[in-house]
Structure 1
Amino acid sequence: MTWIYHNGEFKSRDTIHVDIEDRGYQFGDGIYEVFRIYDQQLFEVDAHLQRLERSANEIKMHLPVSRDTLARDMHELVQRNDILNGIVYLQVTRGVAARYHGFPSSDVPTQMVAYVKNMPRPTEDMQQGVNAILIDDSRWLRCDIKSLNLLGNVLAKQTASEHGAFEAIQHRDGTVTEGSSSNVFMIQNGKVYTHPATNLILNGITRLKVLKLCQQLQLEVYEKSFSTEEILDADEVFITSTTSEIMPIKRVNDQDIGPGIPGPLTVKLQEAFEKEIQAV
C-alpha cells in the first residue's frame, strides 16, 4: 500500500481526494517543498522546513504543525513507504472555502498533503553535462516564495524541452536570474558567481549548500548578478536543485561553455557534495 500524509494522518492513496474549492486548486494559494531522500534519509530537512515556514509567513498563512512534528512525520512517511532514493513532496494550501479572492475566515483549516516518489540520482547527466537555453524571465516578482504559482516556470521548462535542452536559464533585461527549476552558477577565472538571494530568485537549499562547500574548498564565491553575455563567455556553468544536485551545463544556446565538458571546479564541488550525501 502507498501511504500518503494528509492533515497529520497517514492514509492510503485511494482515500485522498482534493475538494474542488481547495484554494490551492483554484488560486494556487499555497506553498510546497521537495525533499531529497538518500538511503531512506531526508537530506537537509531542517533547511527545507525553515524555508517552508518562511514561505508561509510571506503569504500570511499559518502552518498547522511545528517544524519538529513535520520533520518526524516526513521521516515516518519515508519509512512507511520503504523508499530508498527518491523525493518527498509536501504541499500546504489555505484550505477549502467558497471561491473568493480574499482570504477565507481564520477558522478555515489549511490542507496539508505529502507523498513520496522513487527517483534515481541523475548520475549520467551529472558526469556528462547537459544543454540549456536562455529565455526572458516573465514571472512575478516574488520568486523567493516557494508558492504553487508555477505557470511561468512550467512554460520556461516546456520551451527548453522544445529546444532539446535540459533547462531554461532565465534573465531579466540581460541579467541572469535562475533556471525554470534551478539556481544558476557561473565560474570565471576560478571565481564562482551566482545571483544574490533577492525576491527575483528562490534561495535553493542546494544553492546554500554549494555556497558553504565553496567556502570549505576555499573558492572565491560572489553572490553577484551577471549578464547573458558573461554566462556565454564563462569557463564553467552549472545549475543546482534538490533533484538535479550539481548539474554541469556544457552548452548554452548551441554555444559550448569552455571546452564543452564539465569543468574542474564543478567536478570538485560535485565530489564535495557527494561526501555530504554519504554523511547523511
Structure 2
Amino acid sequence: MSNDIFRKGAAWIKGEIVPIDQATIGVTDWAVTHSDVTYDVVPVWDGAFFRLNDYLDRFEASMQAYRMDVGMDRAEMTSALHDMVSRSGLKQAYVAMVAARGTPKVAGSRDPRDCQNHFFAWCVPYIHVVKPEVAEAGVSLYIPNNVHRIPDQSLNQRVKNYHWGDFTAALFQAKDHGYETALLTDGHGNLAEGPGFNVFAIFGNKVVTPKQHVLHGITRLTALELCREHGFKTEERALSLEEFLIADEVFLTSSGGGIFPVARVNNHHFSNGSAGPKATRLREAYYDMLAQSGLRSAISY
C-alpha cells in the first residue's frame, strides 16, 4: 500500500493499519455513547517519538484508573505505534493511543464490566495547539467567568479523557471575543487548565503552575525540568487568578507544540502585549530538548 494514501494520517485498529479516513468504531461503543475513553498523545519529531516511555507510563496508569484491560501489553502497544507511524511515512506527527470501553458483550447491559475494552491508535501530521507564528508573537487567552473546569471530585483530571463540554463552551466564548484560546478556573478563583494545555506563571526567578484540576502533562513535566535547568525555582500549587494576573510572564505547555508564551489574558497584557523573553527562551530550549538522543525513540521507516 503506497504511503501516498497515508498523507493525511494512519490508524492502527483491530490489528490493521489503515488510512486515517478509513478508521471506524461502532456507534454503540461506550467510547461514542458515553465518552468512556482514556488516551494519550505523543509527538513524533524528526522521525522519532519524544519521551515515549513517559507517555506510555501515564497511559497505562490511566487505563488502570479507568479499570480497562485492552488485552495488549506495553511491547505490543509500542510495536503498534511504531508500525503505524512507519507506514504513514510521517516524520513530524501527532500520535494518539486510545483505550475505549467498547460495546457490552451482553446486549443492553448497563454494567461497564460487561464491555469489551479495546485499543486503537492514530497519527496525523504534527498538530500545533497554537500556530507557531501566534506563539512567537504571544498567545491571547480568554478566561470566562461563567464556565469552570470539571472538578477533580467529579472526574479525575490526571486521567486524560474526552470530556470536553467545559472546554468547548469556553472556546466558543474565546473565539466570539476574538481570542486565540481559553483558560478555565476551578470555580473557586484558582487557575485550572485549557483545552489541551497547562499554564505557568513566572514571578522573577520562580515559576508556578496549578496542581489541582489539571492533567499532569508530559510537556508540563518537561517544562518543569527545563525551568529548573535554567535556574528557576518551581512550585506546583494553587494559583489564584488574582496572583496570576500580576505575574511577570505567562506561558502554556502542550504536546502539540511545546511551550507557548502568552501576551494577553482578557484585557490584561504581559510583556507589553508580546511574547516574554524568559518564556521565549524556554520555548527554544524545549525544541533543543526534542533532539536529545536519550529522550528519543527512533522510528524505522
The letter of the residue matching 2:206 is K
Q: Which moved more, 1:160-169 or 1:250-259?
A: 160-169
Match of 2:225 in 1: 212
| One-letter amino acid matched to 1:194 | T
SS at match of 1:176: coil
The answer to whether 1:134 aligns with 2:143 is yes
Residue among 185, 196, 214 paired with 1:181:
196
Structure 1: distance between partners of 2:257 and 2:169: 19
The offset of 1:132, in angstroms, is 0.2
Q: Measured at CA, do residues 195 and 14 of structure 1 come closer, stay the same or move farther in structure 2, by a change above 3 Å?
A: closer
Q: Which residue of 2 aligns with 1:255?
A: 268
Structure 1's 148 and 191: CA in aligned 2 closer, same or farther, altered over 3 A? same
Tell me the distance in 1 between the aligned counterparts of 2:108 and 2:285. 49
**Structure 2 residue 180 is matched with structure 1 residue 169:** no
SS at match of 1:170: coil
Residue 13 of structure 1: how far off its partner (Å):
4.8
**Deviation (angstroms), 1:22:** 0.5
Taking only aligned residues, the RMSD between alpha carbons, in angstroms, comes to 1.9
Shift of 1:206: 0.4
Q: Which residue of the partner structure matches residue 56 of structure 1?
A: 63
- Among 262, 277, 290, the alignment partner of 1:277 is 290
Distance change >3 Å, CA 128–CA 184, structure 1 → 2: same
Contact 2:68 2:99 in 1 (8 A): no
Unpaired runs of 5+ in structure 1? Answer: none
- 9-18 or 37-46, which moves further after superposition? 9-18
Tell me the TM-score normalised to structure 1 length: 0.91
Deviation at 1:41, TM superposition (A): 1.4
| Pairs aligned (count) | 276
Q: What is the distance in 1 between the residues matched to 2:222 and 2:113? A: 37
d(CA) in 1 for partners of 2:171 and 2:33? 22
Is 1:5 equivalent to 2:12 in the alignment?
yes
Rounded Cα–Cα distance in structure 1 between residues aligned with 2:229 and 2:16: 41
Q: Can you give the 5+ residue segments of structure 2 that lack an aligned partner in the other structure?
A: 297-301
1:91-110 equivalences under 5 Å are 91-97=98-104, 98-105=107-114, 108-110=115-117
Deviations 1:179-231 (A, max 9, x none): 222100001122100012x4x11011100001111122221111122111122
The corresponding residue for 1:155 is 169
Match of 1:222 among 232, 235, 239: 235
Q: Verify the 8 A CA contact 2:184 2:192 in the aligned structure 1.
A: yes
Alignment check: 8 A CA contact 1:34 1:242 kept: yes
Distance 1:10 1:69 in 2: 14
The equivalent residue for 1:241 is 254
2:136 alignment partner, SS class: helix
**CA deviation after TM superposition for structure 1 residue 99, in Å:** 4.6
Identical amino acids, percent of aligned pairs? 27
- 1:140: how far off? 4.1
1:183-198 map, 5 Å: 183-196=198-211, 198=212
Distance 1:23 1:124, change over 3 A: same
Higher mean C-alpha deviation, range 207-216 or range 59-68? 59-68
Structure 1's 15 and 266: CA in aligned 2 closer, same or farther, altered over 3 A? closer
